[in-house]
């Protein structure tokens, strides 16, 4: 297999904003002193008049974004997931969610793969928090191709959108020429019959790797990529559960309130099925290189294989 190109989805976010800036003149970008890290600096360089640094004041940034959206602009409010979903939660709920304003939140450095910065910056709770806000759309793209498509889909969607991007370079497995992003629709990446592996974000490529290994060992795994966590693709999740009767969810997020919980919420009503969740097990992370941490927390192909085999 040829060497796979790797790009962090935060990089995709910054590039997409810069590329789409010409097409969507109403697009504005806000950041909270992290433009170099969130990669909105790429947009700033090209469109300095449409970029506003809010300083280290995320609560105010979310409110400013709300005011801009209320007056017809499409603001992208950008910062780390910890501060976007965590610190600014109540502003996102009351000033963006409740009035259902057209604000796009670009949350980077999500999950444990933040790495060396440690637990204070490893946000494993953002999906759970954002899921509770009525009318909030949540997108967690898996690679560069999907992330860039997601940014444009967010622009075309009227209403608040939370987009989750990563710091770690992620393998690009989607083909830019054929890839099609449909908001709210899962993508079946591999047909299988013994078990369904439902993954999101950085874990999708690990799920694909795991499915390869499982196939070599005689286990047929279906792999589904859920990029839109809300609204979630109930039909696809129900259909795959009905087919394999065994579901394994994989996410770089707490097992409380994330993709696994969302899948359970669906299946409890539509097709009660045994679900095992791989994610961060109700504990804080710690400092270390991202790849080592992902291994330590079981967020990699070999652990998916091991868990899947124990289920079939």
Q: Does 303 bind another protein (CB under 8 A)?
A: no
Q: Is 217 among the catalytic positions? A: no
Q: Does 158 bind another protein (CB under 8 A)?
A: no
Give the nearest distance from C-beta 75 to another protein in angstroms: 8
Q: Does 47 bind another protein (CB under 8 A)?
A: no
The mark string for 66-85 relative to another protein (x by CB under 8 A, - otherwise) is xxxxxxxx-x----------
Please tell me whether residue 138 adopts helix, strand or coil conformation: strand
- Quick one: which of 6, 46, 50, 245 contacts another protein (CB under 8 A)? 50
Catalytic residue (one of 11, 19, 58, 212): 58
The Cα angle at residue 261 between residues 77 and 167, in degrees rounded to 5: 40
Residue 76 has phi, psi (to 5 degrees) of -105, 110
Q: Does 289 bind another protein (CB under 8 A)?
A: no
- Quick one: which of 18, 27, 35, 65 contacts another protein (CB under 8 A)? 65
Q: Which residues of 119-140 are buried (b: 16+ CB within 10 A; e: fewer)?
A: eebbbbbbbbbbbebeebbbbb
**Which residue, 90 or 191, has its beta carbon nearer to another protein?**
90
- DSSP per-residue string spanning 243-308: HHSEEEEEEEEESSSSHHHHHHHHHHHH---EEEEEEE-SS---SS-HHHHHHHTT-SHHHHHHHH
The mark string for 7-46 relative to another protein (x by CB under 8 A, - otherwise) is ---------------------x------------------
- 179's CB contacts (< 8 A; 6+ apart) are 145, 146, 149
Closest CA to 234 of 211, 205, 213, 265: 265
Residue 159 has phi, psi (to 5 degrees) of 135, 170
Give the nearest distance from C-beta 34 to another protein in angstroms: 16
Binding to another protein in span 87-116, by CB under 8 A: 90-91, 94-95, 98-99, 101
Give the nearest distance from C-beta 91 to another protein in angstroms: 6
Give the nearest distance from C-beta 55 to another protein in angstroms: 7
Give the nearest distance from C-beta 62 to another protein in angstroms: 7
- Count of residues interacting with another protein (CB under 8 A): 29
Q: Does 236 bind another protein (CB under 8 A)?
A: no
Query: What is the C-alpha R_g of the chain?
Result: 18
Residue 292 has phi, psi (to 5 degrees) of -65, -40
**Which residue, 52 or 179, has its beta carbon nearer to another protein?**
52
User: In angstroms, rounded to a whole number, what is the distance separating the alpha carbons of residues 19 and 29?
Assistant: 13
Closest CA to 1 of 202, 209, 177: 209
- Quick one: which of 37, 57, 119, 271 contacts another protein (CB under 8 A)? 57
Q: Write out the residues near another protein by the rule CB under 8 A.
A: 28, 49-50, 52, 54-55, 57, 59-60, 62-73, 75, 90-91, 94-95, 98-99, 101
List the catalytic residues. 58
């Amino acid at each position: 297999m040829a060497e796979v190109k790797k790009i962090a989805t935060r990089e995709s976010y910054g590039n997409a904003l810069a590329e789409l800036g010409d097409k969507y003149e109403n697009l504005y970008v806000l950041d909270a002193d992290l433009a170099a890290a969130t990669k909105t600096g790429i947009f700033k360089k090209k469109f300095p008049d449409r970029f506003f640094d809010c300083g280290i004041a995320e609560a105010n940034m979310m409110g400013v974004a709300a005011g801009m959206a209320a007056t017809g602009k499409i603001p992208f409010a950008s910062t780390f997931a910890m501060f976007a979903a965590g610190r600014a939660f109540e502003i996102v709920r009351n000033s963006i969610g409740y009035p259902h304003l057209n604000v796009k939140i670009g949350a980077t450095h999500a999950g444990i793969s933040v790495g060396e910065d440690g637990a204070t910056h490893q946000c494993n709770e953002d999906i759970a928090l954002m899921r509770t806000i009525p009318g909030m759309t949540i997108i967690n793209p898996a690679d560069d191709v999907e992330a860039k498509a997601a940014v444009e889909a967010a622009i075309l969607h009227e209403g608040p959108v939370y987009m989750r991007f990563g710091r770690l370079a992620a393998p690009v497995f989607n083909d830019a020429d054929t890839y099609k992003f449909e908001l709210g629709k899962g993508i079946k990446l591999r047909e299988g019959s013994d078990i369904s592996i439902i993954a999101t974000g950085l874990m999708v490529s690990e799920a694909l790797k795991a499915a390869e290994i499982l196939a070599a060992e005689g286990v047929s795994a279906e792999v589904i990529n859920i990029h839109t966590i809300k609204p979630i693709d109930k039909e696809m999740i129900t259909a795959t559960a009905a087919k394999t009767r065994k579901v394994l969810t994989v996410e770089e997020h707490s097992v409380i309130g994330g993709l696994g919980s969302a899948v359970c919420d669906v299946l409890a009503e539509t097709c009660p099925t045994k679900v095992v969740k791989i994610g961060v097990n109700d504990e804080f992370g710690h400092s270390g290189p991202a790849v080592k941490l992902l291994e330590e927390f079981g967020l990699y192909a070999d652990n998916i294989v091991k868990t899947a085999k124990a289920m079939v």
